[in-house]
Structures are given as structure tokens and as C-alpha cells.
Structure 1
């Protein structure tokens, strides 16, 4: 168990009442992003970027899902690389996909879904990117078991391939969701930034987990898309995630739990967030 990295604590500035109010009414965070080009050689050094422009708690409390939607993929990468993993979440989180500004992210999602033989046939007449956003509504973390399951609110499209049998359900804010696609949960190396660990959501051995159903759960596993997610904490109750398919980057996503955000705010402002994953040096 580790406390918030010194590089973040050093730049923590207490929020005044005015700043707190602004953060709740959408004040844009003043976060620096390095200039970049298209080629790999034109990308900034992430370690140098963090050394010169570390993220402050004062700015991170202003980050909202709406703000993340305004960022390019390179800016999302630069933000993610400067975040610590934070504590491993517990409970239900709402999820949403982030399509970077000026990108073809929706096309990428459509390619991912369309590559699933047998499942793509169910999508006739529908835009695949809309299907992806409709199917997935979030994740449920079972922290003590080191297991995660995904919340699916509409089984209409998946029903033909799921078959018979009862599927476990959960109710979140009065909305029922089915729990599918189990994954292992642990700390591990980030595929973007190896200087510190991320929280890993690994579907490679989904078939070994309780409640596994060959269809559709195998679609995300080692015989399917080989999905591996990683997340880091922006602030309590808000995590930025990256989904990989066979180690190739696929898309960004957000996980949010507003109840946990409110409960953890005071400790976050005081720099008391516990780090369970390796936070680097």
C-alpha cells in the first residue's frame, strides 16, 4: 500500500471555497499538454513531460467526462501517463466510451465489432458504433475476489447467441443490467507507460472464472478479441481506461461512480489517496 506519489503531493494546492464552486460548475482544468506531431519521433517524452508539468489535485478535481471528450488521442495519452493507478475500485461503475476529438474512433469500434464472426450478422441495419455504446453500460468490480464483470443492459442483440440459462443481474440506480464478460483484476504494467503500474482488467482467462458462459463471454477472451483493459484514477470515483485487443490499442473509456466520488473527495484534496499498485520512483 503506497500513498499518493510525492510528485503529485508536491503540487497539491488546497481548494478555496470559490475554486470548489467553480469545479462543480464546469471550470476547465488548466492542464498542460506538450506539442506533438504525427510520427513517433514527434511525440513528447512522457517522463520529461511529467517532471516539468505534473498534474495537480487542484486541476484534477475539475476534470469531467465532458472535458475528456474535448481532448485529442495524444492529449488523452499525455493525461493518462501522468495519472497514478489509485485504489482498486469496488462496486458498480457507469461506463462510457471516449471518442477523441478529430479521430476516427467510431470507425475503429465498428471494425472491432464487425470482426466478430457470427456476431456481426446480428447487427444488420444498425450502425456498429451505436451497438457498442448501447450494449455496454459499465463495470462491476469485486475487489476482494479480484474479479470484474461487465454490465449489459440490453440483451436483444446478444440473445440469439447466448442460449438458455439464467444470467446474473444487478440493479444500479433503479436500472437492471445483466453481468457478462468476467475478467481478472490485478495491478500490472501499463502498455502505454511502463514507469508505473495500472489496474489491469484481463479477459485472457475469462473461461476460468465463476459464472463464465462460453457465449458470449469467449468473445472477449483468448480465443476471441483477446481484450485487456487498463485504468488509472483521475480522482476518486472517476477512472480513465484504455482497451487493448491482442495488445493493440482499441479505444478509451471512462468509469464513474458519483457516490464514491463524493465520499473520497476530502481525502483526495488532502493528498491521502492510497496507491495499491506500484507507483514508480
Structure 2
């Protein structure tokens, strides 16, 4: 099956979790990715919430694989801010390898946040967001 943003927005939480569990970590990405927040998966609200967040709050991430860092594109202006370290590590979901986006040592505003991503299709990553060790939401990154 080909996975894209539209497909992910239509999936239920258990389907997103299964897809994440059954996908490889993939390479640490490099370059700019368009981000889509996946909140209330499998409901009629998912797509509308994603559009609002994308317009006003979070547009994606810009990775520098060589340096092992990323910056988020945030605000209506798409400013690059909120730095994270990027490395491969063990997922908190299933203890298998994933790409970790770690804000603990790089961000005052997001130091309690950890993202995990896995490659679900060429240039497409599915992510999980944790606040301390509590799961918050899912997201998708689509690279050009």
C-alpha cells in the first residue's frame, strides 16, 4: 500500500500504531519536510485540525543529517525555530529502532518533548510525539 498524508489522516489510532510498529527506522532524513499533525485520528475532525495547525502553528521540519539536528518551521510565517538533536535510538512505543528527535538538551520551550519517526514510504515518515513519556499525537513528514 502507498502511504501519503491523505491516507494517514483517514486511519484510526490502532492502524497508525501498527504501521509505525511494522515500519523500519529508515535513514536520518535530510532537507525540508512538510509536516502534518494527526490529532483525533479516524474522526471527522482530523483533517480540519491538521489544516488549522499547518496554517497557524507548525508547517514541518528542516533536517541537517550531517550535523544531526533539525529545526521546526513554525508560525504563520514559517520561521525556523525549536532545535532538536536527531539520532537513531530505541522507540518508547515498541523498543525497536527509530529516528529520535530529542529536544531535551536543545530547547527551553520544548525540552520535555521527544518525537520518534519511522519511514513508511520513500520520503514519507510517520511520527509519534511524547511529553515526558506520555504519548500526545502523531504526525507525518513528507519530503520533496
Pairwise same-fold verdict (TM > 0.5) = yes
User: Residue 85 of structure 1: SS of its match in structure 2?
Assistant: coil
Change (3 A) 1:83 1:91: same
| Partner Cα separation in structure 2 for residue 147 and residue 65 of structure 1 | 24
1:72 corresponds, among 12, 18, 23, to: 12
- Quote the residue 2:60 is aligned against: 138
Runs of 4+ in structure 1 off by over 4 angstroms are: 103-106
Select the structure of larger CA radius of gyration.
1
User: After superposition, where does 1:188-227 map in structure 2 within 5 Å?
Assistant: 188-194=89-95, 196-206=96-106, 217-221=107-111, 226-227=112-113
1:234 corresponds, among 100, 104, 120, to: 120
Gaps of 5+ in 1: 1-58, 110-128, 156-176, 207-216, 259-281
Contact 2:35 2:54 in 1 (8 A): no
Aligned residues: 141
CA RMSD of aligned residues (A): 2.2
CA deviation after TM superposition for structure 1 residue 193, in Å: 1.1
- Quote the residue 2:79 is aligned against: 178
CA deviation after TM superposition for structure 1 residue 102, in Å: 3.4
Is 1:102 matched up with 2:46? Answer: no
CA deviation after TM superposition for structure 1 residue 154, in Å: 2.1
By percentage of residues, which structure has more helix? 1
Contact 1:73 1:103 in 2 (8 A): no
Change (3 A) 1:64 1:104: closer
Contact 2:72 2:83 in 1 (8 A): yes
Q: Name the TM-score, length of structure 1 as normaliser.
A: 0.47
Gaps of 5+ in 2: none
CA deviation after TM superposition for structure 1 residue 103, in Å: 8.8
User: After superposition, where does 1:1-281 map in structure 2 within 5 Å?
Assistant: 59=1, 62-99=2-39, 100-102=41-43, 130=52, 134-154=56-76, 177-194=78-95, 196-206=96-106, 217-221=107-111, 226-258=112-144
Q: Name the TM-score, length of structure 2 as normaliser.
A: 0.88
| Partner Cα separation in structure 2 for residue 153 and residue 134 of structure 1 | 5
User: Residue 83 of structure 1: SS of its match in structure 2?
Assistant: coil
